[in-house]
Amino acid sequence: MATSGSFHLPLNQVSNLGVSLDRDGRIEAVNAALCSFLGRTEAQLLGADWFDTAISTEGRDQVRAVFARIMLGQVALVRHYQNRLVRADGNAAPVSWFNLPRRDEHGAIIGTLSLGDPLEAVTDTGSGEPAALRSELDLLRARLDEAQALIDHNPTAVLVLRAAQGQDFLDAPILSVNNAAAALLQLPISQAIGRSTRQAGLRLPWEPLRQAILNAQDPQISTVHLPELHTIEGQDAGVFSVRAFRLGADTVGLTAEDVTQAWRERVESHRQAQFLETVLDHIPDMVFVKEARDLRFVRFNRAGERLLGLSRDELMGRNDNDFFPPDEAEFFIRKDREVLATGGVLEIPEEPIHTRDGVRTLHTKKIGVHDESGRPLYLLGISEDITDRKKAELELERRALLLEQSNRDLEQFAYIASHDLQEPIRKVRQFGDLLAESLGPDLAPEPADFLRRMKLAAERMQGLINDLLTLSRVNSQDRANQPVNLAQRISDLRENLADGIAAIGARVEVGPLPVVLGDQVQLDQLFTNLVCNSLKFHDTSREPVIQVHSRMVSPEMVEISVEDNGIGFPPDEAARIFLPFHRLHGRGDYDGTGMGLAICRRVVERHGGRLIAEGRPGQGATFRVLLPLAPAPK
Amino acid sequence: MSLPLPTILLVDDDDDDVLLVRRALGSAGWCGPIQRVADGQELLEYLLGKGAWAGSPLPGLILLDLNMPRLDGRSALARLRAIPDLALLPVIVLSTSGSPRDRSEAIELGANDFIQKPSTYADLVAAMRTTREVWLP
């Protein structure tokens, strides 16, 4: 038997007339009782149009309309129905029908099942229903009870409202409710029925519901699912997903599912995402995250948007190829792959990047994010814009270079100038000598004094030029870097200066001295100048004592001190005494060009050391020289 | 009867220096011939007897300045030492420079001595006296 759907009734087991129609009204199945009632064979009936074949002409359109209503699900209106059937012999006979829709597994109506009783055969059985039909109806009622139980115990609230003509759904009486809906209304079911939702104090999101219901073109059942979640006010119930089902022109079914818990979880996860987003947006460096498969951006912070001049919306879901020149994008992608493959942190100290504001330089760190099984998930990148810093560094470098060049030029100039100045001053002196010799002893006292002063001035100038030349030579000439035995050098120096030491009756004490690394000629000059300085500025009121000692300050550096008990100098002069041509004393008191200590400092600096002067008036001076030690012989 | 005195050859472009050295040599007791050429090029011409210098005797001592136009003292010294007959000729560099580097360079090129031109006339006379006594009979 070709019946299908939710109701499978074996038509031949009932005594009623039985017929099953498809959605077009063609006979799909028919039982023996109906065949014999109509006086036709089953073969004649199957596949035939039911209305053309079996319904009397005058009632045919009406019956078709009833069928159409059943097909639209308006079963309640047409469940019981009477019409007249036309038999094969041409006679018509009234039949009372009980109609049911047949549905497929999705609930869609695919046809009808009808059971009929010829009206002349109807006898009073007490209930007005034929006995066989009654058993079928009991079965159906049991099914309906089951369905009702399912609805009643469903946690989703279900309400059915029926509005009178022109009545607002808000005021429409509640036709039925399930337990969950009654709980929501805080009323027993019996009291809920008949009230409107307004009376019940239930404030549903009516406006969008009403609009959706009214706008539905299909006059039949329509479902409206409001996309937003709605708080049902008047309750502390929380958040609901509300649907409306149009059950008919005046009837609406509503369901309200409590989704508060899911909603809270969503709000919390959104809040956390928002928190992370806020933190990222406050980081002043560009932060981005790419998914590991196609390296598309999945996250981008504000600093990154500003840097690239692109908005998050433009960036999301796209990758480097969409924004950067091919070779640049290729570089970024290669580095991304590298860090995803090797793990750890990859540092790119400098990488150029094209932005809307031109090329910038970034210092980037890339970090691969993997799941617990080591599969790459994301690539995290942090980029600091170092363009300005880099620019400043380059500028500084350029200036340092310029300064160095200018210093070199100046040194070269000083050297050449002093070298070339030497010659004329030498001639001035020599011709002065010749002049004095030629004029002889007969020269009058005054011209003789002029000549003497001229010669002295020339001599002093030559001294200045010589010292200047020495000073510039310390810079301009290559410096040897060899082990220099200081003990030996100071010993030689004492011998060279023996006359000067003896002349003032000075005592020179020398402690153990190391071997340092440097230029012997320059170091000789340094210590000669320092010792001569001490000799020159001795205090005549006591025996001059000059002490030379050493002290290790690190494994690489040694401090040599040259200490005297001479006239000293004010502490605030300590820095200035190293300036070229700087003199603390008048020419009448102490001879000299003021270049000696300047040369000393230049020599020490050229050796990568330091020279410090300490002094107090009347209490002597100490010069501390920091020099690199020669590596110990292996 | 004594042997004729050798010639001292001054190589210097500076007339003042030539005047001073000539006079200082006199003050130092030198009464032999003194010739002067103005640069390295002319020195080589003199030594090879070219042009105006044809027939001039080889000097007994050369006092050579370093910084000169055309051919400077260093180059002249190098070329001179490359000529076998002149390899042993006494050459004293007489220079304004007091730089140790100039000194060692000159000695390496084959100078017999290096004298920094003194600052006073007396010192110049003393230097010329010493030189004469050391290098000339």
* pLDDT for residue A237: 53
Q: Determine the structural domain holding residue A457 and report its residue range.
A: 391-475
Q: Do A430 and B96 touch (CB under 8 A)?
A: no
The reply to whether A129 and A23 lie within a common domain is: yes
pLDDT at A99: 80
B119 with A427: Cβ contact below 8 A: no
Position A221 scores a pLDDT of 43
Compute the nearest-CA separation of B107 from chain A (Å): 18
- Domain identity same for A512 and A423: no
Residues A139 and A83 in one domain: yes
Determine, yes or no, domain membership for A270: no
In A, minimum Cα distance to B96 occurs at A423
* Domain stop point among A385, A415, A442: A385
Structure tokens given for A366: 């890339």
**Of the candidates A115, A145, A143, A142, which has an alpha carbon nearest to the alpha carbon of residue A130?**
A115
Q: Nearest by CB to B119, which of A426, A434, A469?
A: A426
- Mean pLDDT calculated for residue range A602-621: 89
Same domain, A614 and A516: yes
CB contact under 8 A, B120 and A430: yes
Position A64 confidence tier, pLDDT thresholds 50, 70, 90: confident
Query: What was the pLDDT predicted at B37?
Result: 94
* Domain boundary, last residue among A444, A475, A506: A475
Return the half-sphere exposure (C-beta side, CA atoms, 13 A cut-off) of residue A124: 1
Calpha distance A465→A113 (Å, rounded): 131
CATH number at A436 reads: 1.10.287.130
- The CATH number linked to A112 is 3.30.450.20
* pLDDT surpassing 60 at residue A224: no
CB-CB contact of A553 with A515 (8 Å) = no
Tell me, what's the pLDDT at A63? 83
**Chain B residue numbers touching A462 (CB-CB < 8 A):** 119
CB atoms A434 and B117 under 8 Å:
no
Contact B100 A430 (CB under 8 A): no
Chain B: closest CA distance from residue A442 (Å): 20
Residue A410 has which token pair?
A: 């100046």
With CB atoms and an 8 Å threshold, state whether A429 touches B119.
yes
Contacts of A418 in chain B (CB under 8 A): none
Q: Where are the beta strands (DSSP E) in A425-522?
A: 482-485, 507-510, 515-518
Amino acid at A61: D
Distance CA A463, CA A596 (A): 11
Residues A469 and A490 grouped into a single domain: no
What are the residue ranges of helices labelled H in A178-301? 179-185, 189-192, 197-200, 206-215, 260-282
Separation CA A344–CA A374 (nearest Å)? 12
Nearest by CB to residue B119, choosing from A462, A469, A521, is: A462
Tell me whether residue A179 is in a domain: yes
Q: Lowest mean pLDDT of A147-156, A293-302, A558-567, A587-596, name the range.
A: A587-596
Whether residues A304 and A351 share a domain: the answer is yes
pLDDT digits (tens, 9 = 90+) for A228-285: 545 555 445 567 777 777 777 677 788 888 777 887 888 899 999 899 889 999 999 9
Domain count, chain A: 5
Query: Are A114 and A132 part of one and the same domain?
Result: yes
Residues of chain B positioned with their CB less than 8 A from the CB of A469: 98
Contact A430 B124 (CB under 8 A): yes
Q: Residue A69: pLDDT above 60?
A: yes
For residues A112-137, give the mean pLDDT: 65
Instruction: Kindly state whether residues A93 and A226 are assigned to the same domain.
Output: no
Contact map slice: A 450-479 vs B, CB within 8 A: 459, 462, 466, 469, 473, 477
Sole residue written with tokens 């969409």: A322
DSSP A233: B
Residue of A nearest to B124 (CA): A430
Question: Taking the domains of chain B in order of start, what are their residue ranges?
Answer: 8-135
pLDDT at A143 over 80: no
- Minimal-distance CA residue of chain A relative to B97: A419
Does a structural domain hold residue A372? yes
Nearest chain A residue (CA) to B125: A430
Give the pLDDT confidence of B36-91 residue by residue, as tens digits.
999 999 999 999 988 888 888 899 999 999 988 889 999 999 999 998 888 889 99
Q: Which one of B15, B102, B119, B128 would you mutate to disrupt binding with A, by most A Cβ within 10 Å of its Cβ?
A: B119
Å between A525 CA and nearest CA of chain B:
13
Is pLDDT of B2 > 70? Answer: no
CATH of domain B8-135: 3.40.50.2300
Q: Is residue A220 part of a domain?
A: yes
User: B106 pLDDT exceeds 50?
Assistant: yes
Give the C-alpha separation, A249 to A176, whole Å: 17
Q: What is the ipTM of this complex?
A: 0.81
Residue ending a domain, choose from A123, A144, A165: A144
A187 vs A634 pLDDT, higher one: A187
Residues A538 and A592 in one domain: yes
Tell whether the model's pLDDT for residue A215 goes beyond 70.
no
**What proportion of chain A, given as a percentage, has pLDDT over 90?**
27
Tell me whether residue A100 is exposed, middle or buried, using C-beta atoms within 10 angstroms of its C-beta: 0 to 12, 13 to 18, 19 or more.
buried
pLDDT of residue A204: 66
pLDDT, mean over chain A: 82
Residue A113 and residue A77 share a domain = yes
Asked whether B121 and B112 are in contact (CB, 8 A), the reply is no
Q: Are residues A517 and A622 in the same domain?
A: yes
Which residue of chain B has the CA closest to A472? B99
DSSP for B82-105, written as a single string? HSGGGTT--EEEEES---HHHHHH
Mean pLDDT of A181-193: 80
A1 located within any domain: no
